[in-house]
Amino acid sequence: MPAQRRSGTSCAAAWQRWSGVRPGYAGARVSPYAKAPSWQAAPASPVWTSGHPLADPAISSALKERADQIQSAFAAIEPTLRALAPRQFEDNFAAAARESLRERLGLSVPLELLTVSWAVPLDVRRLYAHCVLATFCRLIERHLDRDLACSFEGESAEALIQRFGFHAVDITPCADGRLSGVIDYILRVPPAVVAFRKSFAGAMFDVDESLHHWETVQLRRFREARPNAATAPTRFLKIGVYHFSSVDPHREGCAAHQSDDARAAAALLERLRQFEEAVQLTHGGEARVATLLVGVDTDTDAIRIHVPDAAGQMSIERFIDSRQLYDRTQGLTRDEGKQVIREQVADLMGVAIDDAPTEGMRWFCGYLLKNNLAQVDAVRRWHGSSYADRGHTEQLMVIGDSVDDVQLRNLAFQAQMDTIEEGAPDLDVGVRILRSLHESRGLAVPVLVHIRFDPRIPGARERAEVRAVRLRTAIETRFAALSADGGLRVEAVVRSGDSDELHAVEAAPERRPEPAAGLHA
């Protein structure tokens, strides 16, 4: 597989973008999902003026507004379909329903999903799943503003991160939907610095693939001096994100690790160590990467940062808990709060507060903690002591290449994979979770196969389409009974590089539905 395509299958940092345009920008729209926006924008959340000294009300309010818009887009689906279903045997139903869906949900639904006869009624499960998937695609194409956290203390976060010693950040969270907002909400890291983000059940990333990510970044540094020259003394930073539940630790933790947070942290730490070792063993002792283990409390969005010691070693027992830090800094001034963070990080690292060799990592830990305090503050303000939905409420699953454009807690279970064989354990966890959520409501599990291609490479789109069809077929085969019963609905799209241009991949010829001619329309 060509290196470029693999590197591009993840969220692309600013210096990696194929098209050289801002993420989300697209020229002529060709997607069936890209219709005129129609849902009502949620009213802007009020910006508060008081709170924690390190809160960031402006960013938090903008993030809340975005979350409300995403939620209202999905929330509109069920009432719209409930209103349509009883009218299905009326004359001219398909055309009227299509118009109604366009007006209320902003979706262009294929007529075949709306065409019924007295003997073959509306397949509401299929229609609902399609609307969920199409809404998600529309949100991608809508290009939500993800630049909210691009500045830190008045400076470019991207420039600061590089100045403090890191030229690229690779984030691997668990595929659990409660981490769907890990970049924008929980860590508040600007997409411009995130070179890769791939999710796996239990955050159990593939070491060889991560090594390959590191190599592609190095190659670009050597050849193009982007994001900086290979001679610059900066490092590639890989962050592994596990999760736990502070409210219901034995039931709502990581399913892939049987809700055992120590086990989740230990397994991920071991994998991070293997990655560091892999880089050194394959590219020599001079090749250095940095790693960081982070835990997320899915009830409060607070984080644990496992601060490395001066030698870069981490321990699952040694961490700073941002919930405790929040309480400790609550009554301080902003400067005093920042000083407490600096002291705690240096203390845990076992170095002086002005220790030069560890300055970069100390700054980065403080940066994440400060960002997260703002999120902890926002959650407390809008959800109280913890989220009401402690467990899963994901709308859909995303399989294949990652989607970061639409970030929101509990929105999507994402599992990145090239083949079903490779991603089977993740897929099984995801289907089990989504099935328990949807089956009880009589609904099908919506699965989006999302594959990116590099538009510069001849034939890349065709190969991406083949891969998408292969994944879709493999999922339907793996869950044949569920699929045949209408309990699983898989749709596939391919995407041109980092643009928000999605192309629906039609069913393979033998699976295409018969023409609707002759049916009541």
Catalytic residues: 176
d(CA 33, CA 141) in angstroms, rounded, equals 8
67 binds Zn ion (CB under 5 A): no
Residue number, 185 or 236, with CB nearest to Zn ion? 185
Q: Could you tell me the smallest distance in angstroms from the CB atom of residue 280 to Zn ion?
A: 28
Residue number, 134 or 256, with CB nearest to Zn ion? 256
d(CA 69, CA 283) in angstroms, rounded, equals 46
Q: Residue 31 — left, alpha, or beta (φ > 0 → left; ψ -120 to 50 → alpha)?
A: beta
Subset of residues 169 to 208 that bind Zn ion, contact rule: CB under 5 A: 174, 176
Q: Could you tell me the smallest distance in angstroms from the CB atom of residue 178 to Zn ion?
A: 8
Q: Return the amino acid letter for 496.
A: S
List the end-to-end C-alpha distance of the chain, in Å, as a whole number.
Answer: 46
* Member of 11, 105, 140, 254 binding Zn ion (CB under 5 A): 254
Q: Could you tell me the smallest distance in angstroms from the CB atom of residue 255 to Zn ion?
A: 6
Q: Could you tell me the smallest distance in angstroms from the CB atom of residue 268 to Zn ion?
A: 10
The per-residue b/e assignment along 388-425, b for 16 or more CB within 10 angstroms, e otherwise, is eebbbebbbbbbbbbbbbbbbbbbbbbbbbbebeebee
Peptide bond between residue 227 and the one before it cis (omega within 30 degrees of 0):
yes
> What percent of the residues of the chain are helix, what percent strand, and what percent coil, each to the nearest 5?
45, 15, 40
Q: What would the x/- binding string for Zn ion be over residues 137 to 176, using CB under 5 A?
A: -------------------------------------x-x
Subset of residues 209 to 228 that bind Zn ion, contact rule: CB under 5 A: none
Token readout for 439 is: 């089956």
Query: Cα 143–167–454 angle (5° rounding)?
Result: 45
Cα 239 off chain centre by: 14
Q: Which stretch binds Zn ion (CB under 5 A): 69-77, 83-91, 247-255, 388-396?
A: 247-255
Strands of 289-297's sheet, edge to edge? 194-197, 166-173, 235-244, 289-297, 303-306, 320-321
Residue number, 165 or 295, with CB nearest to Zn ion? 295
Q: Which stretch binds Zn ion (CB under 5 A): 77-85, 208-216, 248-256, 401-409?
A: 248-256
Q: Could you tell me the smallest distance in angstroms from the CB atom of residue 203 to Zn ion?
A: 7
| Total residues at interface with Zn ion (CB under 5 A) | 4
Q: Cα separations (Å) of 318 from 211, 243, 274, 344? A: 26, 16, 20, 12
Residue number, 176 or 297, with CB nearest to Zn ion? 176
Q: Could you tell me the smallest distance in angstroms from the CB atom of residue 405 to Zn ion?
A: 22
Subset of residues 452 to 471 that bind Zn ion, contact rule: CB under 5 A: none
Three-state DSSP class for residue 302: coil
Residue number, 137 or 254, with CB nearest to Zn ion? 254
Residue number, 203 or 460, with CB nearest to Zn ion? 203
Q: Which residues contact Zn ion by CB under 5 A?
A: 174, 176, 254, 256
